[in-house]
């Protein structure tokens, strides 16, 4: 059932949830446990769950004695190779009490540009979900180059939601909602709902943020929200602290209303890696 309103998330059959690096790594690694508890609760009611999780590079950094996100591609790839292994282990350990098995899917933009690879990815994920595996998706940072990267996992999450025909996409961040301008500025007010045909050009989302652990920010979430909504997938942007309320369909965050006339089919044009 496609979610046309926030409340419909509670009755969704297939959900994509995305969480960023800053929310589940470093000092915030403790957030993995409550996040997994929320995912396990919806999994228990029969929902098929895909978690798009950033954090491979950030998780690998301490093991390479790095104090900040590396700027060169080779070190980013090395950190991702180490961190992805640790990240999946942490998720699986948190899932163990619920007897839920995690499955890992690593994608590059090229996988979704190529029709054969895209079909293979869809088939694999459909089978994982059919087997009741909680599927964890990340960009394959170990082999991706600057030229073929998604740019941020908000966009990847939107494309995955399109790929598997999700009923809704939930983008988790460090703030409760999107604001009309950066929330630390005077006059900033939270945005409750964005219609699929609303003009949001007056909102000051700012540029993509590159911090010590990852990339992203309000601008990427707004862009991903519009992308998924245009393909018929409703999108909720809210805080990881509100994940349980969000998955229960409560009135939190910023809701992107899906286009009721859209056909949710992922195409090469949807991937559009030229913006990076």
Query: With pLDDT > 90 as the criterion, what percentage of the chain qualifies?
Result: 67
Residue 71: predicted pLDDT: 87
- Band of pLDDT at residue 28, cut at 50, 70 and 90: very high
- Band of pLDDT at residue 199, cut at 50, 70 and 90: confident
207 pLDDT above the threshold of 60: no
Secondary structure string (H, E, C) spanning the chain: CCCCCHHHHHHCCEEEEEECHHHHCHHHHHHHHHHHHHHHHHHHCCCEEEEEECCHHHHHHHHHCCCCCCCCHHHHHHHHHHHHHHHHHHHHHHHHHHCCCEEEEEECHHHHHCHHHHHHHHHHHHHHHHCCCEEEEEECCCCCCHHHCCCCHHHHHHHHHHHHCCCEEEEEECCCCCECCCCCCCCCCECCEECCCCCCCCCCCCCCEECCCCEECHHHHHHHHHHHHHCCCEEEEEEHHHHHHHHCCCCCCEEECCCCCCCCCCCHHHHCHHHC
pLDDT tens figures, 123-161: 999 999 999 999 999 998 888 766 446 667 899 999 999
81 pLDDT above the threshold of 80: yes
Tell me which of 97-106, 153-162, 183-192 is least confident. Answer: 183-192
- Mean pLDDT over all residues of the chain? 89
Average of pLDDT values for 102-122? 92
Residues annotated in the binding site for substrate, as ranges? 54, 141, 153
Q: Is the pTM of this model over 0.85?
A: yes
- Band of pLDDT at residue 211, cut at 50, 70 and 90: very low
Residues annotated in the binding site, as ranges? 18, 54, 141, 153, 173-174
Q: Report domain extents, the chain.
A: 6-256
Residues annotated in the binding site for ATP, as ranges? 18, 173-174
pLDDT tens figures, 228-276: 999 999 999 999 999 999 999 999 999 999 999 987 555 444 555 444 4
Residue 275: predicted pLDDT: 42
Which CATH architecture group holds 6-256? 3-Layer(aba) Sandwich (3.40)
Residue 198: predicted pLDDT: 87
């Amino acid at each position: 059932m496609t979610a046309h309103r926030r409340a419909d998330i509670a009755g969704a059959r297939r959900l994509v949830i995305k969480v960023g690096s800053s929310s589940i790594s470093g000092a915030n690694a403790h957030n993995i446990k409550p996040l997994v508890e929320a995912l396990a609760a919806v999994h228990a009611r029969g929902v098929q769950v895909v978690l798009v999780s950033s954090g491979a590079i950030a998780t690998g950094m301490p093991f390479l004695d790095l104090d900040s996100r590396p700027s060169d591609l080779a070190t980013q790839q090395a950190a991702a190779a180490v961190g992805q292994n640790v990240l999946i282990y942490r998720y699986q350990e948190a899932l163990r009490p619920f007897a839920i098995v995690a499955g890992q899917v690593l994608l590059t933009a090229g996988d979704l540009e190529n029709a054969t690879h895209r079909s293979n990815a869809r088939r694999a994920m459909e089978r994982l979900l059919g087997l009741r595996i909680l599927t964890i998706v990340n960009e394959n940072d170990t082999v991706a180059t600057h030229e073929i990267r998604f740019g941020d996992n908000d966009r990847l999450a939107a494309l995955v939601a399109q790929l598997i025909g999700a009923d809704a996409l939930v983008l988790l961040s460090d703030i409760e909602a999107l604001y009309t301008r950066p929330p630390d500025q005077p006059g900033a007010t939270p945005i409750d709902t964005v219609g699929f045909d609303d003009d949001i050009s007056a909102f000051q989302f700012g540029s993509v943020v590159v911090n010590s652990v990852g990339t992203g920010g309000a601008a990427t979430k707004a862009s991903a929200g519009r992308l998924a909504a245009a393909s018929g997938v409703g999108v909720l942007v809210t805080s990881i602290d509100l994940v349980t309320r969000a998955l229960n369909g409560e009135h939190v965050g910023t809701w992107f209303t899906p286009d009721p006339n859209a056909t949710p089919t992922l195409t090469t044009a949807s991937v559009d890696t030229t913006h990076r």
